[in-house]
Structure formats: C-alpha cells, structure tokens
Amino acid sequence: DQQVKQNSPSLSVQEGRISILNCDYTNSMFDYFLWYKKYPAEGPTFLISISSIKDKNEDGRFTVFLNKSAKHLSLHIVPSQPGDSAVYFCAASFGNEKLTFGTGTRLTIIP
C-alpha cells in the first residue's frame, strides 16, 4: 500500500523555467511533509518541509504547496538550474513518527 505517491517518474524542464513536482498521499493523518533531493549513489538531502497547519512554505528558489483537502503537495523550483537535475522524493509523517517516502521523480533540467 503506497501511501505516498509520485505519479510522474520523470520530468524535463528548460533551464530558467519553473519545475513543478507533484506528490499525492492517502493517509489523512499525515501532518508533516518533506522534500528531499537525491543524486545517484548518494543519500537524500533535505530541501524543504511543511507542516499541515500551513499551505505554503518558501525557501529561496523552492516553494512547497500543500492542499490538504486534495491530499496533494507540490514542489516548485524557480528558476530551474542545471544543478537541480536529480531525483526528488517527497516524504510524509504523522505524530513525529517514521517517514514514508514516495517513489521519486527524476528531474532533468535542459540547458
């Protein structure tokens, strides 16, 4: 039972444009969401997070939006840069319990 889903396995975006990565979840108990970036053969690196009491959190070029009614969150990267090419995982947790990860989206930024 995949409680956190990233339905797009890959995404290609032109450099300088906006990258939008999507994530859906099924467990309404989740109250904390995170995005991680991962390069091949490396561990994930934390990018940005959001609590369920908010609907938006911004950090530089990265913004995460949370739509609780739709059980959907998205990560916006503006402007996209070549170094952003990586696999992005969303993750969710509730009650400060374990993280449940999505399957990842491979983002490729085209110069």
Partner 1 sequence: GAVVSQHPSWVICKSGTSVKIECRSLDFQATTMFWYRQFPKQSLMLMATSNEGSKATYEQGVEKDKFLINHASLTLSTLTVTSAHPEDSSFYICSASPTSFNEQFFGPGTRLTVL
Chain residues binding partner 1 by CB under 8 A are: 2, 4, 9, 32, 34, 36, 41-46, 49, 89, 93, 96-99, 101-104
Rank residues 4 and 21 by Cβ distance to partner 1 and give the closer one: 4
Q: Looking at residue 82, what DSSP letter applies? A: G
In the complex, the smallest distance separating the C-beta of residue 12 from partner 1, rounded to whole angstroms, is 17
Rank residues 44 and 80 by Cβ distance to partner 1 and give the closer one: 44
- DSSP for 46-79 reads EEEEEETT-SEEEETTEEEEEETTTTEEEEEESS
Rank residues 42 and 59 by Cβ distance to partner 1 and give the closer one: 42
Q: Is 16 left (phi over 0), alpha (psi -120 to 50) or beta?
A: left
